[in-house]
A and B are shown apart, each in its own frame.
Chain A
Amino acid sequence: MLIVLPDGRTIEIAGNEVRIEDILKQLFINPEEVIVAKNGKIVPEEETAG
Chain B
Amino acid sequence: MCTAVRTDTMLSDAEKNRYSRQIRLFGEDGQEILRGTSVFIAGAGGLGSAISFYMAAAGFGKIRICDCDSVELSNLNRQILHANADVGRAKAKSAYETLTGINPEIEVEALVETISEENIDQLLQGCDLIMDAMDNFPVRYLLNRSALERKIPLFHGAISGYQGQATTIIPGKTACLACVFPRAPPASVFPALGSTCGVIGSIQVTEAVKYVTGTGQLLENRLLLWDGLCGCLDEMAYERNAACLMCSDGGH
**A-to-B contact residues, CB < 8 Å:** 30-33, 35, 37, 40-42, 44
Given contacts A42-B180, A42-B223, A44-B241, contact A37 B186 (CB under 8 A): no
Listed by A's residue number, 26 A-B pairs whose Cβ atoms lie within 8 Å are A30-B186, A31-B183, A32-B183, A32-B184, A32-B185, A32-B186, A33-B185, A33-B186, A35-B180, A35-B181, A35-B223, A35-B236, A37-B236, A40-B236, A40-B237, A41-B236, A41-B237, A41-B238, A41-B239, A42-B180, A42-B223, A42-B236, A42-B237, A42-B238, A44-B182, A44-B241
Q: How far is the CB of B248 from chain A (nearest CB, A)?
A: 13
Question: Whole-angstrom distance between the alpha carbons of A30 and B183 in the complex?
Answer: 12
**What per-residue 1/0 map shows which CB atoms of B174-209 lie under 8 Å from chain A?**
000000111111100000000000000000000000
The 4 closest A-B pairs by CB, nearest first: A42-B238, A41-B237, A37-B236, A42-B236
Residues of B within 8 A of A42 (CB): 180, 223, 236-238
Chain B's interface: helix, strand, loop or mixed, by majority?
loop
Q: How far is the CB of B138 from chain A (nearest CB, A)?
A: 13
Q: How far is the CB of B230 from chain A (nearest CB, A)?
A: 8
Residues of B within 8 A of A32 (CB): 183-186
User: What residue of chain A has the Cβ atom nearest to residue B239's Cβ?
Assistant: A41
Question: Whole-angstrom distance between the alpha carbons of A42 and B238 in the complex?
Answer: 5
Question: Whole-angstrom distance between the alpha carbons of A35 and B175 in the complex?
Answer: 15
Q: How far is the CB of B87 from chain A (nearest CB, A)?
A: 33
